[in-house]
Every structure is written in structure tokens, then in C-alpha cells.
Structure 1
């Protein structure tokens, strides 16, 4: 009896799995083709236009991790921190393998003065980038400084300097005065 039931449902399950896989591939292919204009708006620093563009695209591609990520960038630059946080969490829920998403989420949390959570996000981003991204190391160092891990922050800033980050070098030269004044 169990075999008969299994033989009846197995083709159905396999068909559903195939169509889900096919839908995901088609959405990813279409996303790459259609988001270039919005990325150009971000490069030109037209953040409000970019936000509108990605909002429109998300109506057609509601599962697009990249569209949520890019709209999150636009919201971050417009200082819409809670909208940026929502968007980046949506992006991560659809694709949690993008290190840049964790950097953006960390920046948003940092701006909201949630330094402990920001540090964790920068740490995740550093894991994805294998300690080869100076921006991640700088931001993680800044978060560490804010939660009182001064020695570890200096290590992160020094690693970022080795990778060519001039902002980290400036922070180290001014003995954190830049961070004290800015944040």
C-alpha cells in the first residue's frame, strides 16, 4: 500500500520541484537583464530615482534578492534606515550568500547605534570576504571601537590599511578622533 502511495505522489513532487527550480532560474535571468538602469542611477547618486526604480521592479520580481539589496542601498543613502533594514533583511532571506548584504545591514545598524548587532553583521561579511575586503574590516573596527574592543579594532584597522584602505589609515593616525567627532 505504501509503495502505491509513493508511486502516485513521487511524479507530482518531482514535477513541483522542477517548476520551482525553473521559476527561480528564470527570475534570476530576468533580474540581471532589467536592473542595470537602477544600478546606473545609484552610481550617478540619484538615490530617490533608484529607490523608485527598484520599487517598480519589485512589483514584477517580488523574490529578487538583488533588487531588494539595491533598493536597500538607495534607502541607506537617503537615510531611510528602517526601510533599508527591511529591504536588506528581505534580500538576505532570499539569498544569504552575498557578503555585501551583510555590510549594508551592518551600516544600517551602525547608523541606528546598535553597535553590537552591527559588529555581528560585519563579522559575517568578513567571513564571506575571507578578510580580503578593507571596507568590511574598517566598519567592523568602527563597530568594535564603539562596543569597547579597542585592541581588536586596531587590528581590524591595520588589516584594512594593509589591503589599501586610506580611511582606516586616517582613523589610526588621528587616534580615533575622527570616530569620536563623527559618531
Structure 2
């Protein structure tokens, strides 16, 4: 009896799994196809137009992590930090495996002078990059310096310099004057 029941429900379960997989692939393909124009606007520093473009796309693809991420970058450049933070959090809720996303969220929190939270985001980014991204290390060092962890900040800057980051080298040479001005 159990085998008969299993044989009856197994095709249904397999069909549902297949359509779920197909839907994920279709949405990611559609995102790549439809967001290219907005990325060109973003690269051309037309932030307001790009922000409008991504807002329009989010009406049709409300679960697009990439669209939220790119709109967040536009909001950041337009200095709408709270809107950028919202977009980055939405993007993380749909895909939490993008290291660059944590860097941008940390930058936003840093601009809002929430250094403890910014440090945590940069730390997550560093974890995803496996300590091989100089930008994440430099920003984490800046946040660490602002929360009073000077020795650890120096280590992060030194590691970033080893990876080729000239900005971190400048910060170390000027004895943190760059950070104090911000």
C-alpha cells in the first residue's frame, strides 16, 4: 500500500521540483537580459536615471536581488543613504551570498556614522572574500579605527596594502589623517 502511495505522489513532487528549478533559472536569465541598460546608466554616472530605471524594473521583478542592489548603489551616489540601506537589505533578503553587497551596505552605514554596524558588514564581506579583497579590508580597517580598534585597523590596512591597495597605503603613511577628515 505504501509503495502505491509513493508511486502516486512521486511524479507530482518531481514535477514541482522541476518547475521550481526552472523558475529560478528563468528569473536569473531575465534579470541579466533586462538590467543591462540600467547598468550602462550607472556606469555613465547618470544615477537619477538609473535609479528610475531600476525602480521601474522592480515593479515587474519584485524579487530581483540584483535590481535592488543596483538601485541601492544609485541611491548611495545620490546620497539617499537610508533608501540605499533599505535597498541593500532587500537585496540581501533575496540573495545573501554577494560579498560586494556587504561592502556597499557597510559603506552606507559608515556614511551614516554607525561604525559598529558598518564594521560588522565589512567583516561579513571579508568572510565572503576570504580576506582577498583589498577594498573590504580597507573599509573594515576604517570602521575599526572609528570604533577604537587601532591595532586591528593597522593589520587590515597592512593586509590591504599587501593586496595592492594604494588608498590603504596612503592612510597608513598619513597616520590616519584621511579618516579623521571624514
TM-score, normalised on structure 2? 0.93
Could you tell me how far 1:12 is from its partner in structure 2?
Answer: 3.2
Alignment partners' CA distance in 1, 2:63 and 2:107? 23
Cα RMSD (Å): 1.5
Alignment partners' CA distance in 2, 1:156 and 1:102? 17
SS at match of 2:96: coil
Could you tell me how far 1:5 is from its partner in structure 2?
Answer: 5.5
- Where structure 2 has 5 or more consecutive residues not aligned to the other structure, the ranges are none
Q: Deviations over 1:47-87 (max 9, x none)?
A: 11110111111112111111111111111111111111111
Alignment partners' CA distance in 2, 1:179 and 1:173? 12
SS at match of 1:110: helix
Alignment partners' CA distance in 2, 1:13 and 1:101? 35
Alignment partners' CA distance in 2, 1:20 and 1:79? 38
> Counterpart of 2:162?
162
- 2:17 maps to 1:17: yes
74-83 or 12-21, which moves further after superposition? 12-21
Alignment of 1:1-183 (within 5 A): 6-182=6-182
Paired positions, count: 182
Alignment partners' CA distance in 2, 1:89 and 1:32? 21
Distance change in 2, residues 1:82/1:5 (3 Å): farther
Alignment partners' CA distance in 2, 1:151 and 1:174? 16
